[in-house]
Amino acid sequence: MKTLEKYSVDQYGFYGKFGGAYVPEMLYPNVEELKNNYLSILNEDSFKKEFDDLLSKYVGRPTPLYFASRLSEKYQTKVYLKREDLCHTGAHKVNNTIGQILLAKRLGKKRIIAETGAGQHGVATATVCALMGLPCVVYMGEVDIARQRPNVERMKILGAEVIPATSGSKTLKDATNEAMRHWINNPVDTHYIIGSVVGPHPYPDMVARFQSVISEEIIKQLSNDFGIKHPDYVIACVGGGSNAAGAFYHYMNNESVKLIAAEAAGLGNDTGKSAATTQLGKEGILHGSRTLLMQTPDGQVIEPYSISAGLDYPGIGPIHAHLFDSGRAEFISVKDEEAMLAGIELSRLEGIIPAIETSHALSVLSKKKFGKNEVVVINLSGRGDKDLDTYIKWGKY
């Protein structure tokens, strides 16, 4: 977890012009407490040891970096898959929840709240709460509860209370609003585990640090297992952007590594049914940070659309807004249909059914030409078990 320069957060909590902490006064002390303590806690030897132990013995890290030979053959390039789908609970989300719950315990917090969209972050949070014996409340949009039933039940089995967010559009952004309101009402004993690199500073930086284990391992594995100094490309999908932040983290200041972020374009960016924030958004403020945001000319937040609930967010982490704005990362829009086809292709060529979020990143292989000897690392952020219903409804396999 070493510090970065050009693309890391500054002392005021900004990435370029994006970030900051735009919170009402009632949340200021909560956010300030985190800001004043997170770096020193993360640097404690006992914290690092506990975090690393849990990641290896409980989560199953390091996750493999796997050379996908048949996929490489098909696209005439060298594709390596970082297998975050093999993490306990089925996605990278648990890297962050382990880190944050250890932090919450050191801050003396007695209960945990979280928001969730597809339910992956909710499950990862309920899991670590069970592990640590802390009560857990997860807010989830009423619409998402209906379409992600298995994850709702998983959270309940793990002992979490799932509260439907019934305000606004009843999806992820509203669940986030409700979690923030809950935190306002319970400022002293409660820690809010945000699931992505969004929210007021220090959340984006803190979550990126917990997820940075992904690129830390990629560097070691490419070098030790394959004798490769660095990849030519790292590709990841971006909703809020936590798996991408982790996969990009240690490469951000190495400009010989090109970064590609796949955004969900739903039915297409010109259809009004998309979630491609960098293409459709403009600078604004949501959930405590200044970032790119899908909104009306009057500044009202627009409800995005994607077949993948995990990418269905109207904003984007401020770190990614900065990577986009500065041109450091290339952002590619991937439509529902293209993502679904890429998911089926991976299933057939490599025997891995990916999460539909992840399929957006895989689709980049068919949208961009890579050189025969170029090394392309794709962050396989999650597995597709949770998406069976969506695959079945789509039906073209």
Partner 1 sequence: MTTNPIDSVFQNKDQKLLNVYFTAGFPTLEDTTKILKSLDETDVDFVEIGMPFSDPVADGPTIQESNDVALNNGISIDKLFEQLGTVKGEIKTPIILMGYLNPVMQYGIEKFCQNCVEVGVSGIIIPDLPMQDYLRQFKQLFESYGLYNIFLISPQTSEERIKLIDEHSNGFIYMVSSASITGAKADISNSQEAYFNRVNSMGLKNPRLIGFGISNNETFEKACQYAKGAIIGSAFIKALRKSTNIDHTVKEFISGIKNN
Q: Which residues bind partner 1 (CB under 8 A)?
A: 12, 20-26, 28-30, 167-168, 173-174, 177, 180-181, 184-188, 284-288, 293, 295, 297-301
Closest distance of CB 9 from partner 1, Å:
15
Q: Which is nearer to partner 1, 78 or 322 (CB)?
A: 322
Residues 6+ positions from 36 with CB-CB distance below 8 Å: none
Q: Which is nearer to partner 1, 134 or 180 (CB)?
A: 180
Helices (H), 186-231: 203-211, 213-226
Q: Which is nearer to partner 1, 186 or 347 (CB)?
A: 186
Closest distance of CB 304 from partner 1, Å:
13
Active site residue 115: yes
Closest distance of CB 137 from partner 1, Å:
16
CA distances from residue 295 to 15, 102, 140, 269, 318 in whole angstroms, order as listed: 21, 36, 22, 14, 16
Report the alpha-carbon distance of residue 330 to residue 327 in Å, rounded. 7
Q: Which is nearer to partner 1, 301 or 339 (CB)?
A: 301
Determine if residue 241 is left, alpha or beta; phi over 0 gives left, psi from -120 to 50 gives alpha, anything else beta: left
Residues 6+ positions from 52 with CB-CB distance below 8 Å: none
- Among the listed residues 72, 78, 82, 93, the single catalytic one is 93
- Among the listed residues 115, 217, 345, 357, the single catalytic one is 115
- Among the listed residues 72, 215, 333, 381, the single catalytic one is 381
Active site residue 381: yes
DSSP label of 56: I
- List 238's β-bridge partners, or say none: 263
Q: Which is nearer to partner 1, 135 or 299 (CB)?
A: 299
Closest distance of CB 345 from partner 1, Å:
37
Closest distance of CB 299 from partner 1, Å:
3
Active site residue 369: no
Residues 6+ positions from 337 with CB-CB distance below 8 Å: none
Q: Strand runs (DSSP E) across the chain, as ranges?
A: 14-15, 18-19, 65-67, 78-82, 111-116, 136-141, 161-165, 190-193, 233-238, 258-266, 282-286, 289-293, 329-335, 375-379
Active site residues: 93, 115, 381
